[in-house]
Amino acid sequence: MNLFHKIRGSLALVAMFFNTLICMVPLYLLVVMKLLLKGDKAQVALSHGLVRIAEFWITINNLIIALFSQIHWQVEGMDNLTKQQWYFVISNHQSWADILTLQRIFNRRIPMLKFFLKQELRKVPMLGDAWWALDFPFMKRHSREEIEKNPELKGTDLATTRAACEKFAMFPTSVMNFVEGTRFTTHKHDQQQSPYQYLLKPKAGGAAFTLGAMSGHLRTLLDVTIIYPNDVPRTLLAFLGGAQRNIQVIVQQHPIPDWASQGDYENDPVFRERFQQWMAKLWADKDALLASRRAA
């Protein structure tokens, strides 16, 4: 990344900051109303309003990114998408730019993406409040040592997931999951001895519990493969400043089998093995896709 990219990336960040400031004004007004009005109808209406503000914010951010980064996008598989359907979205994960990429291709094409976030991100100025208002679930991971000291902590992440999914079921929502759990690096790949060439091992448990908690609302899987042909953008400035000139995105739509939302992943070893095999097949196909596109 050269100085020119840093300058352009910095200007893009400034523009996105002011966009955030402007959008936070109506968002906070609706947040106050959401705290005061407790009825289900009011909560749903206010949630719709908050989503519209967020989609407008993403739209302006996308315009800013297009202006400063001038990325050439190659996107496949976006046919027949609708905002009237629930989607479960999974993707490979390589960079912070992945989230901006997903927002770029899906904004206003499907219901707004909802992510599971680390509890620490609740403290991020402005954005933490926005994520809370938009019902993004905040997860706090407990270590094995913490659970051994306080057994009551066991299962709290699952309870958070269940509560979030109850809200997701109120109107069409897109639930996003980076099933690798972390960004791909060569060190992590070697450390876990991943059987895939370009991917880390998928963590099937969170996906299985989300599908189960949504009680069958999630019927379509959007399997996203993000390819950075030149190099993975390591910093936000590099992405915003135009260091990454081309991005390929392939979206594959799959029906989610009925059985995938009807089992007990934690207590049923037969179901757990079946679900892991299903996820492993999806991941093997994604790895083969990445290999073929990189070889082209």
pLDDT digits (tens, 9 = 90+) for 245-263: 899 999 999 999 999 999 9
224 within some domain: yes
83 within some domain: yes
14 within some domain: no
263 within some domain: yes
230 within some domain: yes
Q: What is the mean pLDDT of residues 46-69?
A: 95
Q: Are 250 and 229 in contact (CB under 8 A)?
A: no
pLDDT above 90: percentage of residues in the chain: 59
Chain mean position to CA 65: 19
167 within some domain: yes
45 within some domain: no
At position 269, the amino acid (one-letter code) is P
65 within some domain: no
pLDDT for 41? 86
Closest CA to 247 of 90, 109, 55, 103: 103
pLDDT for 169? 77
pTM for the full predicted model: 0.89
pLDDT for 170? 80
At position 122, the amino acid (one-letter code) is R
Per the structure, how many domains does the chain have?
1
Domain with 75 in it: what CATH number?
Answer: 3.40.1130
Range of the domain at 123: 71-295
pLDDT tens, residue by residue, 184-202 = 999 999 999 999 999 999 9
pLDDT for 216? 79
